[in-house]
Amino acid sequence: MQLQQTLRKSYLFEGKGLHTGRVARMTVSPAPADTGIVFKRTDIGEDALVEALAENVSNTARSTTISKGDASVSTIEHILSALTGMGVDNALIEIDNVEVPILDGSAKPYIEAIWKDGFQEQDAPRKYIELKETVEVVNEKGSVVRLEPADDFSYDIKIDFNSKVLGVQHAQWDSSVVYPEEIGVCRTFVFFHEIEFLFNNGLVKGGDVDNAIVIVEHPVTKEQVNNMSRLFNVPSLEVREDGYLSNLQLRFTNECARHKLLDLIGDLRLCGGFLKAKITAEKAGHGINTTAAKQVRAVMSSRA
C-alpha cells in the first residue's frame, strides 16, 4: 500500500512572476494527511486559502490561475508539477503576491531544494484517482487530451506548432522515467515573434533570457535581435544555426515537448490527486488541460 507523503521541512523561493513581473516570496511547507495541495495568500489574510482543484480555475491565458473569494494565485503549474513528479500528496504553499515566481522557467529549483531531503510518510493511504471510463476533451484548434482507465499512470504528449525549428516533438512520462532528471528540468519556451505582442498585452513582464527558450521561427534582422538584447538588458544575442536564440543551451533536443509535459502534469494535478490513467495529449495547453481536469472531477463526483 502506497502511503501519503509530505515534505520534511519548509522551503522558501523568491523571484518575479513571468507575466506580472511582481516579486513574490513563496514558502512550500509540510501539511497533514488528506490536505492535498493548498495555496495561502499571506498578503490578504489567514483565511485566504485556495485549494489546488479544477473547480477553482479562473484563467488559463498563458498560465493557470486558481481563485477562491478574493484570493487568486497564478502560474501554479510548475510547482504543482514538481510536487506531483516527486510524489508529494500534501503541501501548504504560502505566497505573498498574486503570481508564483518563474525562477528558471522549469521545476528544477524546486527539485534541487526538496528532492535531496526525501519525504515524510504519513499514516494514511494514498488516494488514487481511478477512472472507470474514458474522459476526452477536443477543441476547435485540434487539441486533444484523453484519459483512459489504466492500472498505473502514463503520460504521452505530442506538440506541433507548425514550426520548422521545433518540428513535431513527443515526450512521455511513466514509472520508468525519472521525473526530477528528465521532465522537471525542462524550461518554458516562447517564439521570438510573440514576445513583443505579449509585452504589449501586459504579459511576460517578468520574462528574461534566463527563464525561457526563445525560438526564432521567421527571419529576423540584426536590429531586431539587438532590440531584444536591449529589452532584456543583456549583452548582444545571436540566432543560432538551429533556430534558437543564443541565450540558452537546450537540456534535451525535445526540451519544449518535455516542458509541455511538465505543464500537463501540473494542470492535471488539479484533478485532486494522483491519476491512475493512460493520458495522451496533442497540441495541449492550459485551457484544455484544466477542462479535462474539471471533467475528471465531475465524473468522480457523480460516482461518489
Tell me the CATH number at 81: 3.30.230.20
| Predicted confidence (pLDDT) at residue 220 exceeds the cutoff of 70 | yes
Flag whether 39 is in a domain. yes
In a domain, 95, yes or no: yes
Residue 10 lies in a domain: yes
Upper half-sphere CA count for residue 120 (Cβ side, 13 Å): 14
pLDDT (tens digit per residue) in 82-105: 999 999 999 999 999 999 999 999
Q: Is residue 126 part of a domain?
A: yes
State the total domains in the chain: 1
Instruction: Please list, in sequence order, all residues whose beta carbon lies within 8 angstroms of the beta carbon of residue 103, skipping any fewer than 6 positions away.
Output: 13, 15, 78, 109, 110, 211
**Exactly one of 19, 78, 259, 286 is catalytic; which is it?**
286
The pLDDT score that the predictor gives to residue 3 is 98
Between CA 105 and CA 60 the distance in angstroms is 17
Q: What is the mean pLDDT of the chain?
A: 94
Between 24-33, 114-123, 203-212, 236-245, the lowest mean confidence (pLDDT) is in: 203-212
% of the chain surpassing 70 pLDDT: 96
Instruction: With respect to residue 298, please indicate whether it lies within any of the assigned structural domains.
Output: yes
**pTM recorded for the entire structure:** 0.95
Q: Examine residue 225 and state whether it is found in any structural domain, yes or no.
A: no
Query: Would residue 163 count as lying in a domain?
Result: no
Predicted pLDDT at 8: 98
Please state the rounded mean pLDDT for residues 170-185: 98
The yes-or-no answer on residue 286 being catalytic is: yes
The parent domain of residue 26 ranges over 3-131+257-303
Q: Is residue 233 part of a domain?
A: no
Q: What is the predicted pLDDT for the residue at 147?
A: 98
Q: What is the pLDDT of residue 2?
A: 95
